[in-house]
Amino acid sequence: MKKSKQELQAIASQVRRDIVRMVTEAKSGHPGGSLSSTDILTALYFNVADIRPEGWTRDGKGQDQFILSAGHLTPVYYSILAHAGFFPVSELATFRKMGTRLQGHPSVRKGLPGVTQASGSLGQGVSVAAGLALAKKVNGDAHKVYVLCGDGESEEGQIWEGAEFAAHHKLSNLIGITDWNGQQIDGTVESVCGGGDLEAKWKAFGWNTIVADGHDFDAILDAFAQADKLSAGDKPTMILFKTDMGHGVDFMAGTCKWHGKAPSVEQCEAAMTQLEETLGDF
Amino acid sequence: MKKYIDTGKKDTRSGFGAGLLAAGKADERVFALTADLKGSVKMDAFAAEFPERFVQCGIAEANMVGAAAGLAIAGKIPFIGSFAEFVTGRVYDQIRQEVSYGKTNVKIASSHAGITLGEDGATHQTMEDIALMRALPEMVVINPCDYNQTVQATIAAAKYDGPVYLRFGRPSVPNFTNPDEPFVIGKAYVMNEGKDLTIFATGHLVWEALQAAEQIEAQGVSAEVIDVATIKPLDEATVLASVKKTGKALIAEEHNAVGGLGEAIAYLLAEKQPTRLSFLNGKDLFGQTGTPAELMALYGLDAAHIAEAALKLVK
Q: Name residues 96-115 of chain A within 8 A of B (Cβ).
A: 107-109
Query: What is the number of CB-based contacts under 8 A between chain A and chain B?
Result: 112
Q: Between the CA of residue B150 and those of A16, A31, B20, B179, B262, what are the distances in Å?
A: 54, 50, 10, 10, 21
Q: Which fold, B189-314?
A: Rossmann fold (3.40.50)
Length of chain A: 282
Q: How many Cβ atoms from other residues are within 10 Å of residue A273's Cβ? A: 8
* Residue A278 within any structural domain of the chain: no
Contact at CB, B60 and A164, closer than 8 angstroms: yes
Contact at CB, A158 and B71, closer than 8 angstroms: no
Residues of A in contact with B94 (CB under 8 A): 121, 124, 127, 158
Contact at CB, B103 and A116, closer than 8 angstroms: no
B234 vs chain A: nearest CA distance in angstroms?
24
3-state secondary structure of B109: strand
3-state secondary structure of A40: helix
How does DSSP classify residue A263?
A: P
Q: Are A33 and A73 in contact (CB under 8 A)?
A: yes
CA distance linking residue A272 with residue B165, whole number of Å: 50
CATH code: domain of residue A63? 3.40.50.970
Q: What is the mean pLDDT of residues A83-89?
A: 98
Query: H or E element: which one contains A209?
Result: strand A208-213
3-state secondary structure of A221: helix
Q: Express each pLDDT in A183-235 by its tens digit.
A: 999 999 999 997 789 999 999 999 999 999 999 999 999 999 999 999 999 99
Interface pTM, i.e. ipTM: 0.97
* Residue A125 within any structural domain of the chain: yes
Q: Express each pLDDT in A8-65 by its tens digit.
A: 999 999 999 999 999 999 999 999 999 999 999 999 999 999 999 999 999 999 999 9
Q: What is the dihedral of CA A74, A88, A272, A36, to 10 degrees?
A: 30
CA distance linking residue B81 with residue B91, whole number of Å: 12
Compare all CA atoms of chain B with the CA of A165 and give the residue at the minimum distance: B57
Q: Which fold, B10-173?
A: Rossmann fold (3.40.50)
CA distance linking residue A18 with residue A34, whole number of Å: 10
**What residue numbers bound the domain in which A247 lies?**
5-272
Q: Which of A127, A117, A185, A176 is nearest to A149 (CA)?
A: A176
**Residues with Cβ < 8 Å from B193, sequence gap 6 or more?**
B224
Arithmetic mean of pLDDT over chain A? 97
The 10 Å CB-count burial string (b at 16+, else e) for B138-156 is ebbbbbbbbbbbbbbbbbb
Is the pLDDT at A1 greater than 80, yes or no? Answer: no
* Residue A37 within any structural domain of the chain: yes
For chain A, report the end-to-end CA distance as a whole number of angstroms. 23
In this structure, is the dihedral angle defined by the CA atoms of residues B226, B231, B234 and B236, taken in order, positive or negative? Answer: positive
> For chain B, what are the domain ranges?
10-173, 189-314
Q: Are A207 and A166 in contact (CB under 8 A)?
A: yes
Contact at CB, B67 and A131, closer than 8 angstroms: yes
The pLDDT averaged over each successive group of 10 residues in chain B (315 residues) is: 95 98 98 98 98 98 98 98 98 98 98 96 97 98 98 98 97 98 98 98 98 97 98 98 98 98 98 98 97 97 98 96
C-alpha Rg value of chain A to the nearest Å: 17
Q: Are A206 and A60 in contact (CB under 8 A)?
A: no
Angle at B156 between CA B155 and CA B157, to 5 degrees: 90
* Chain centre distance of CA B194: 24
CA distance linking residue A188 with residue A181, whole number of Å: 9
Compare all CA atoms of chain B with the CA of A145 and give the residue at the minimum distance: B70
* Residue A151 within any structural domain of the chain: yes
Q: What is the pLDDT of residue A194?
A: 79
Residues of A in contact with B104 (CB under 8 A): 117
Residues of A in contact with B67 (CB under 8 A): 127-128, 130-131, 134, 162, 165
Q: What is the pLDDT of residue B308?
A: 98
Beta-strand (E) ranges in B68-215? Answer: 77-83, 107-111, 140-142, 164-167, 172-173, 189-192, 197-201
Q: Name residues 155-184 of chain A within 8 A of B (Cβ).
A: 157-158, 161-162, 164-165, 168-169
Peptide bond into B171 cis (omega under 30): no
Angle at B182 between CA B180 and CA B185, to 5 degrees: 155
Domains in chain A, number: 1
Helix A265-272 vs helix A5-26: angle between axes, to the nearest 10 degrees? 170
Contact at CB, A164 and B103, closer than 8 angstroms: no
Contact at CB, A118 and B97, closer than 8 angstroms: yes
Q: Are A33 and A70 in contact (CB under 8 A)?
A: yes
* Residue A84 within any structural domain of the chain: yes
Q: From the candidates A65, A67, A122, A128, which should be mutated to test the interface with B, based on the most B CB atoms within 10 A?
A: A128
CA distance linking residue A106 with residue B68, whole number of Å: 19
Kindly state whether A42 is in contact with chain B, defined as any CB-CB distance less than 8 angstroms: no
Q: From the candidates A64, A108, A127, A139, which should be mutated to test the interface with B, based on the most B CB atoms within 10 A?
A: A127
**Residues with Cβ < 8 Å from A14, sequence gap 6 or more?**
A79, A83, A276, A277, A278, A279, A280, A281
Q: What is the pLDDT of residue A195?
A: 77
Residues of A in contact with B93 (CB under 8 A): 121
Q: What is the dihedral of CA B162, B133, B228, B223, to 10 degrees?
A: -170
Compare all CA atoms of chain A with the CA of B94 and give the residue at the minimum distance: A124
Q: What is the pLDDT of residue A151?
A: 97
Contact at CB, B62 and A161, closer than 8 angstroms: yes
Compare all CA atoms of chain A with the CA of B92 and give the residue at the minimum distance: A121
Query: H or E element: which one contains B31?
Result: strand B30-34
Whether the domain at B10-173 and the domain at B189-314 fall into the same CATH topology: yes
How does DSSP classify residue B95?
A: I
Active site (catalytic) residues of B: 61
Q: Which of B171, B88, B130, B125 is nearest to B287 (CA)?
A: B125
For chain A, percent of residues with pLDDT exceeding 70: 100
Compare all CA atoms of chain A with the CA of B78 and give the residue at the minimum distance: A131
* Residue A282 within any structural domain of the chain: no
Q: What is the pLDDT of residue B58?
A: 98
Is the model's pTM score more than 0.95? yes
Listed in sequence order, the DSSP H helices in chain A are 5-26, 31-36, 38-43, 74-83, 125-139, 157-168, 189-193, 198-204, 217-230, 265-272
Quick one: B70 exposed, middle or buried, by C-beta within 10 A (0-12, 13-18, 19+)?
buried
- Who among A121, A133, A161 is closest to B97 (CB)? A121
Q: What is the pLDDT of residue B1?
A: 86
* Chain B residues whose C-beta sits inside 8 Å of any chain A C-beta: 52-53, 55, 57-58, 60, 62-76, 78, 93-94, 96-98, 101-104
